Amino acid sequence: MASLQVSSRARVGFATPLDPARGTLRQAHRRRGRTMLPPRAGPLDGIIGKVGKIAGTPLNEGKKKFAQMQAGDYSPETIRAYITDLTDRYPVVVFTWPGCPYCVKARRLLAEVGANYHTVELDKSHSLGKAIRAELGQMTNRTSMPNIFIGGKSYGGCNDGPGLVSLIDEGIIIPLLQRAGGLNAY
């Protein structure tokens, strides 16, 4: 069983106990008596971060158009109202594709910091999910998932836009969650 856990942790990119970049969050985990370690950046995270900086470029505009084509005929006003309703109703909303490794990582990180979040899995609603993705592209300039909203504002994905990992590393996530009312009480 222990070897399975080690290989599983290595596969999803958990930090090693000596990882100095995660010291602050690691110390918080220890204070709370948690044993799971926060994820460390994987080999593709640097590339993903660079790709995330394409907002406003012709490539990003192409991605947004492609998402709209996939969504087909939908009412942008209705979908935007639906997204706004969700982000107003819940302090933290995570739009995901199930099975997406960055979505899994983001949800795990949110749980580790004690966030109370609402998940919207886009592919379960088929055409509605594609329409939500297309409209998120128009609203936030990003079509990739996850798309994380805290207090009604998009903070990007797991590693980009600025991204959940950056918010945690910079010590910003807890105050954001507190202001939004999205932090579980222990």
- The secondary structure of 19-53 as a DSSP string is -GGGHHHHHHHHHTT--PPPB---TTHHHHHHHGG
Rg of the Cα trace of the chain?
A: 17
What one-letter code names the amino acid at 117? Y
Q: By C-alpha distance, which of 167, 115, 150, 84 is closest to 158?
A: 167
- Give Cα separations from 147 to 78, 100, 142, 143 (angstroms): 19, 12, 8, 8
Q: What is the pLDDT along the chain (186 residues), one digit of tens a residue?
A: 222 222 222 222 233 233 334 444 444 444 444 444 444 445 444 444 454 455 568 888 888 998 888 888 999 999 999 999 999 999 999 999 878 999 999 999 999 999 999 999 998 656 789 999 999 999 999 999 999 999 999 999 999 889 999 999 999 999 999 999 999 876
Q: How many CB atoms lie within 10 A of CB 23?
A: 11
**What pLDDT is recorded for position 19?**
37
Measured between alpha carbons, how far is 176 from 156 in angstroms, rounded to an integer? 14
Measured between alpha carbons, how far is 25 from 173 in angstroms, rounded to an integer? 11
**What pLDDT is recorded for position 102?**
96
- Residues contacting residue 60 through CB under 8 Å, at least 6 positions apart: 54, 141, 142
Q: What is the pTM of this model?
A: 0.70
Sheet with 92-96, strands from edge to edge, namely 118-121, 92-96, 147-150, 153-154
Measured between alpha carbons, how far is 113 from 100 in angstroms, rounded to an integer? 20
Q: How many CB atoms lie within 10 A of CB 77?
A: 9
Cis-peptide, bond into residue 17, ω within 30° of zero: no
Residue pair 120/95 in contact (Cβ under 8 Å)? The answer is yes
